[in-house]
Structure 1
């Protein structure tokens, strides 16, 4: 399985990050350990949303979409809310597992 995920910075709640990975737990730990240059200065991070895909290329395609202007608008309207916390973690899986 491949995962597309959205993170929100704990200390800078206006900062969000969208990514993809085959190992979600390991990737979140790497973000929080400062091992990613793109997210290190806003660590620690909370996982807000993720979606599992059985196909790597579909996951990468959806990640690219979420990083586009219309994809960010879709995510903020349908996937995550401004005041959302990990207690409200949403998860979805695609139909084709």
Structure 2
């Protein structure tokens, strides 16, 4: 089963949230249903970027990278190009 690292963007204020999951559609629905305390104040959310991995370990490492300074710069560049 694949694992995904994703970035969602708040339509309210542009805030980015990074996470990882096995089911991308279900996870986005949970965010938009207000089931995550840290994302609830910024509803609604849209998926703006994701990557697919074979193992959870790879996905967790990539998520940690996205939350680092260089990872945030990478995402800023990728998202500005799309």
Q: In structure 1, list runs of 5 or more residues that go unmatched.
A: 89-97
CA displacement at 1:6 relative to structure 2: 0.6
Aligned residue number for residue 79 of structure 2: 80
Q: In structure 2, list runs of 5 or more residues that go unmatched.
A: none
Query: 4+ residue runs of structure 1 moved beyond 4 angstroms?
Result: none
The 5 A counterparts of 1:15-94 are 15-77=15-77, 79-81=78-80
Cα distance per residue 1:18-58 (max 9 Å; x no partner): 11000100000000000001100001100001111011100
Select the structure that is richer in helix.
2
CA displacement at 1:72 relative to structure 2: 0.3
Over aligned residue pairs, what C-alpha RMSD do you find?
1.2
TM-score by length of 1: 0.79
2:75 aligns to what SS in structure 1? Answer: helix
Aligned residue number for residue 10 of structure 2: 9
Aligned residues: 81
